[in-house]
A = this chain, B = another copy of it.
Amino acid sequence: MPFFDPAERAAKELFPGIFTRTFWGDKILISMLDMEPNGDVPFHSHPHEQAGVVIEGELELTIDGEVRLLGPGQVFVIPGGMEHRARTLDKPAKVIDIFSPVREEYKF
């Protein structure tokens, strides 16, 4: 079935106040994030390449030591193995994260 409605899917809390619904094929996994204010995905890395788009609100993203505040429509690409951190400040945010290969532990 190629069509999915996130409204029919229960959200999973990844970190305090940071919820996701995930969708995947063989090569791509999409993580649709709802982030409350003051959310923090602490520094980490993974071998998977990650890309993403901010849909609503603002995301403070640190990639390889460079800090940026991203708004709606802005895009990022994180090479596999590169350290990164993502935070919300005083506003909530909606963000689409994309991983390839599929992050098996994100198949919720």
Mark A residues whose CB is within 8 Å of B.
2-7, 23-28, 30, 32, 49, 51, 53, 55, 61, 63-64, 66, 68, 70, 73-80, 82, 96, 98, 100-101
Tell me the dominant secondary structure on chain A's binding face: strand
Point out the residue from B4, B5, B74, B76 that lies within 8 Å of A77, measured CB to CB. B4
Given contacts A2-B66, A6-B73, contact A79 B25 (CB under 8 A): yes
Residues of B within 8 A of A100 (CB): 27-28, 100
- Tell me how far the C-beta of A89 lies from the nearest C-beta in chain B, rounded to whole angstroms: 17
Contact at A23–B77, with CB atoms within 8 Å? yes
* Cα A66 to Cα B77 with chains together (Å): 32
Q: In the complex, what's the smallest C-beta–C-beta distance from A33 to chain B, in angstroms?
A: 12
Known: A2-B63, A27-B100, A100-B100; 8 extra A-B contacts, CB below 8 A, are: A3-B63, A3-B66, A3-B74, A4-B74, A6-B73, A6-B74, A23-B77, A32-B75
